[in-house]
Structure 1
Amino acid sequence: MPSITYVHPNGDEQVIEVVPGTSVMRAAVTNGVDGIVGECGGQAMCATCHVYVRDEFLAALAPMNDDEEEMLEETAAPRDEERSRLGCQLKMGSRLESIVVDLPSMQVEE
């Protein structure tokens, strides 16, 4: 079963096992992971599921589409050109059996 490790800004980790096809955003929202909002429900329209993917998992990710690229320009926390992705666009499955993501310090501007 695929697993997602969420690393909070304070270093605490939460590991969640999910069924294949579940997105990093959906798993977080369903399991109450603080730091993922997912306001748009996974449509790549809000950037409130911004995560920083650990380097060792980048090669396994599907390419970024234009909508995701555009939304990453709107993140509340600074974007990392290499590691920033929207959790709603990262689906767990055969190519991605596990992933570790760092959560940004904020998802919405205060």
Structure 2
Amino acid sequence: MNNITFVEHDGTEHVVEIEEGKSLMQIAMDNGVPGIDADCGGACACGTCHVIVKKSWMDRTGSASAEELQMLDMTPEKADTSRLSCQIKMSDAMAGMVLHLPEFQM
């Protein structure tokens, strides 16, 4: 069983099991992770599933599309390693990954 950890802005951790092939957003929603709103349901149209990936994990999340980057430009807490969790497909290579959630979603 492989896990990832979501860390809320206040430091609260949520460890969830990886489901290969699902989006990171869907895994968060399936496990009731607070702070992932996913208002558009994963269509890369709202920015409410913003996560901040540790730099050492960025090569495993794939590249952000132009559409995703445009959505991220509107997020109030954008970081260099910000991604939309709806655009990250999970794989076993991501086991152990820690993701930080911003205090506010767009």
* 1:79 corresponds to 2:92: no
Contact 2:18 2:95 in 1 (8 A): no
* 1:57 corresponds to 2:57: yes
Q: Can you list the C-alpha shifts for 1:16-69, whole angstroms capped at 9, x where unaligned?
A: 002201211111111111100001111110000001001221121211111101
Name the counterpart of 1:12. Answer: 12
Contact 2:47 2:105 in 1 (8 A): yes
Give the residue type in structure 2 aligned to 1:90: I
Contact 1:52 1:103 in 2 (8 A): yes
What is the aligned residue count?
106
Alpha-carbon RMSD: 1.4
TM-score, scaled to structure 1: 0.87
Structure 1 segments, 4+ long, off by >4 Å, are: none
Contact 1:43 1:88 in 2 (8 A): yes
Give the residue type in structure 2 aligned to 1:34: P
Distance 1:27 1:104 in 2: 18
Contact 2:24 2:89 in 1 (8 A): yes
Structure 2: segments with no counterpart, 5+ residues: none
TM-score, scaled to structure 2: 0.90
Name the counterpart of 1:28. Answer: 28
Q: Quick one: percent identity of the two aligned structures? A: 39
Once the two structures are TM-superposed, the CA of residue 106 in structure 1 deviates from its matched residue by: 0.8
Structure 1: segments with no counterpart, 5+ residues: none
* 1:91 corresponds to 2:86: no
* 1:46 corresponds to 2:46: yes
